[in-house]
Amino acid sequence: MSGDKHIVPFLIIAILATSVMVFFMVVIIVTYTRRTKRKEQEYLKALMEDRERTYVQLSVELHDNVTNMMTLARIYINDMEENGSCEDMRPIRKVGKILDSLIIDTHHFSRGLNSDYISRYGLITVVTEELEWIQNSKKISCNVQVSGLRKPIPDFKQLMLYRIVQETLMNSVKYARPSMIGVEFAFKNDSSFSVKITDNGIGFDRQAPDFKEGVGITSMRERARKLGGKLDISSCIGEGTTVCFTAPKMWK
């Protein structure tokens, strides 16, 4: 019995020591996880800010140099068409049509990259223009729906929302091969807000072993987080893709 009396304090000390060790291990793991997550968020923030600066620079370059050069080339072609300086004007006219298309597309890209343009005309207007361009240039049927009473969205939120929609639309056009794209904006009375982008493209399998979310989707999720919302992506092979952003308190 005396031996048991000596064992009991030892067990108590051992249990306390183990508990303290486990506690400190949990603290270390949680601290490390938070630091890692904070570093990842800081990296994504820096990446997005750098990307936004690049967008603005590209917008200025496209507007001031590329568009002007193509417009100048179009003027020369107009002059050749008016003077009939070539025996066969058909190639010249074809080049003129290509330049017309390039000028429109470049002007469109320039506006979409410029954050000032987005804040000036608003999210829904710019997204509508984006869909009109997709419909006219890519021959994809597009539509926009807005439900609820519209409320003004702060500029920085509009920009992040537009980048989410823009990235989704470009991914759809580039990879999904859809015949239809739809965008739905929903303003709710309880200050919640959502935007849903749907296509009827080829879809993809998120459970596939080789599936991996790229930087584009990662930055979309980070933007959604900064807006106080979340991003859901659902897709099935042959059944299209839906990307939905929801924010429970968009104006609070």
DSSP per-residue string spanning 19-68: HHHHHHHHHHHHHHHHHHHHHHHHHHHHHHHHHHHHHHHHHHHIIIIIHH
The pLDDT assigned to 232 comes to 96
Give the model's pLDDT for residue 236.
93
Q: Which two tokens stand for residue 113?
A: 């990259």
User: Which three-class secondary structure state does DSSP give residue 187?
Assistant: strand
165 and 127 Cβ atoms separated by less than 8 Å: yes
Establish if 198 belongs to a structural domain: yes
pLDDT digits (tens, 9 = 90+) for 54-97: 666 665 666 566 666 667 667 767 777 777 666 666 777 777 77
Q: Are 170 and 189 in a shared domain?
A: yes
Q: Are 80 and 99 in contact (CB under 8 A)?
A: no
Task: Determine the pLDDT at residue 25.
Answer: 66
Q: How many domains does the chain have?
A: 2
The pLDDT of residue 64:
63
Both tokens of residue 193?
A: 């807000």
pLDDT at 213: 82
Report the CATH number at residue 135: 3.30.565.10
User: What local confidence, expressed as pLDDT, does residue 4 receive?
Assistant: 53
159 in a structural domain: yes
pLDDT of res. 40: 55
Last residue of a domain, one of 94, 113, 132: 113
What's the CA gap between 145 and 185, in Å, rounded?
Answer: 6
- In which residue ranges of the chain is pLDDT below 50? none
| Rounded-to-integer distance, Cα 235 and Cα 229, Å | 20
In this structure, are 130 and 81 located in the same domain?
no
Let me know if residue 65 belongs to a domain.
Answer: yes
Same-domain status, 138 and 225: yes
Residue 242 lies in a domain: yes
Please say which residue of 85, 113, 141 terminates a domain.
113
- Asked if 131 and 221 sit in the same domain, the reply is yes
Residues 100 and 131 in one domain: no
Q: Is 50 exposed, middle or buried (0-12, 13-18, 19+ CB in 10 A)?
A: exposed
**Claim to verify: residue 171 and residue 237 sit in the same structural domain:** yes
Domain housing 173: 123-252
118 falls within a domain: no
Same domain, 83 and 107: yes
Same domain? For 155 and 72 the reply is: no
